[in-house]
Structure 1
Amino acid sequence: MNRFNRRGSGVALGALVVLGVSACATTPKAYIDVADEPPDCERFGWYEEPQRPASIAEQRVRDEVMRVLEGKGYTVDAENPDCRVSGVIFTGDRPGSPVSVGLGAGSWGGNLGGSVGISLPLGGPRKVGNLAIDVIDTDRNAQVWRGTLEGAFRSPEAEPEAVRTAVENLLETFPPRGGG
């Protein structure tokens, strides 16, 4: 019986720790904004900013955005696009977890017991990489779609696979060619 109580308290303690740690995990949050008049694009080109060079991560974003748009049936046309697209990775502070964990369990003389302890907040604010993609209608010279993915990357530096996943997730809501 004593062996069961110890095993049971160990399982309960382990479950609480897993629950506490999983509560600290965060998932990226996407925000999409579409103009009153939806995008009317068939051909896309990348919006270049000549005053500053693109970072390696931004070059990855460009390549992935154009790949995803081609997969949705759009044509890449750098010279005469209907719409231009830009993407940028920027850093932001993600607040620390509001979750606190205070655990106490044990056994004494064959009985289970618990204790009250002081909970301390886990972690503090940290820098994360965010992704923003804008679509600009060249005829109207107006932004017609914007997608932002907060917390897209665990750190401000974006690895190739993380860029691929973030761009795919963000452009998932962008309509395929033909408006369907």
Structure 2
Amino acid sequence: MKTVAVSSGLLLGATLLAGCTATAPSKVRVDMAESGLPNCQSFEWLPTEQQPATLTEQRVKSEVMSQLKEKGYAQAAEKGDCRVTYALDIHERPANKPGVGVGVGGGSGGVGGGIGVTLPIGKRSEQAGTFTIDIVDTAKNAQVWSGSLDASFLKSEPNEDETREIVARVLEEYPDREPK
């Protein structure tokens, strides 16, 4: 069995190179009405369409209402102070991109280097999109808050874990209810 020694400089260089290729997580974008947030104490769900609720809509509704409850708000069966809805715009983007790698190494008294090129084969892609939660003041019938996040998904619709994560990330920007 051979033992390979890696110098700390090479390890540091490889770590820095790998760090340059990582993408930072998307930031939540928030937009709010100039008049500020209404005194929402209870929320009701505003369906996105007149058709039957999709699995995604059911997941999003359940998660949004659960998160709002944790923030101190109540869910109204009818006539809530505010209504909640969402939008999800998903598109396909290629996941495989050509890449180039450069390496330098040494051992057994010699130094060597190499260049590698990767070419994508096949039609692998990922689903990406923008997820938005909107809050509507029922009394004014006007949107008063919107939070959105760019996200990637494993399939064409977010699964339960992905839904939980994106809803939590967006709603962490929505204020907790102040007790009266």
**Per the shorter chain, which TM-score range?**
0.7 to 0.9
Instruction: Report deviation, 1:138.
Output: 1.2
Between 167-176 and 89-98, report the one with greater CA deviation: 89-98
Aligned to 1:16: 14
The alpha-carbon distance between structure 1 residues 121 and 172, as it changes in their structure 2 partners (threshold 3 A), is farther
CA distance in 1, matches of 2:5, 2:107: 14
Q: For the residues of structure 1 that align with 2:143 and 2:96, how far apart are their CA atoms? A: 35
**Which residue in 2 is equivalent to 1:175?**
175
Q: 8 Å contact 1:57–1:89 — kept in the other structure?
A: no
Alpha-carbon separation, structure 2, partners of 1:14 and 1:82 = 55
User: Which of the residues 26, 29, 32 maps onto 2:30?
Assistant: 32
Corresponding residue SS for 1:102: strand
Using the TM superposition, name which of 48-57 and 106-115 deviates more: 106-115
Once the two structures are TM-superposed, the CA of residue 97 in structure 1 deviates from its matched residue by 8.6
Deviation at 1:94, TM superposition (A): 5.3
1:75 to partner: Cα distance: 1.3
Structure 1 residues 163 and 147, CA gap change in structure 2 (3 angstroms): same
Whole-angstrom CA distance in 2 between matches of 1:139 and 1:24? 45
Higher mean alpha-carbon deviation, 105-114 vs 93-102, is at: 93-102
Partner of 1:68: 67
CA distance in 1, matches of 2:105, 2:152: 40
Number of residues of Structure 1 aligned to a counterpart in Structure 2: 175
C-alpha distance after superposition, 1:41-73 (max 9, x if no partner): 111100024522221011110011011111111
**CA distance in structure 1 between the partners assigned to 2:24 and 2:120 by the alignment:** 13
User: CA 1:52–1:161 in 2, change beyond 3 Å: closer, same or farther?
Assistant: same
For 1:105, the equivalent position in structure 2 comes to 104
CA deviations on 1:94-144 (whole Å, 9 max, x unpaired) are 5769994322334486221334x4766889974224321000111111111
| 1:55 matched to 2:70 | no
Which structure 1 segments of 5+ residues have no match?
none
Tell me the TM-score normalised to structure 1 length.
0.76
What stretches of structure 2 of length at least 5 have no aligned partner? none
Structure having the higher helix fraction is 1
In structure 1, the partner of 2:156 is 156
In structure 2, do the counterparts of structure 1 residues 45 and 164 end up closer, same or farther at CA, with 3 Å as the change threshold? Answer: same
Q: Could you tell me how far apart the structure 2 residues matched to 1:66 and 1:33 are?
A: 20
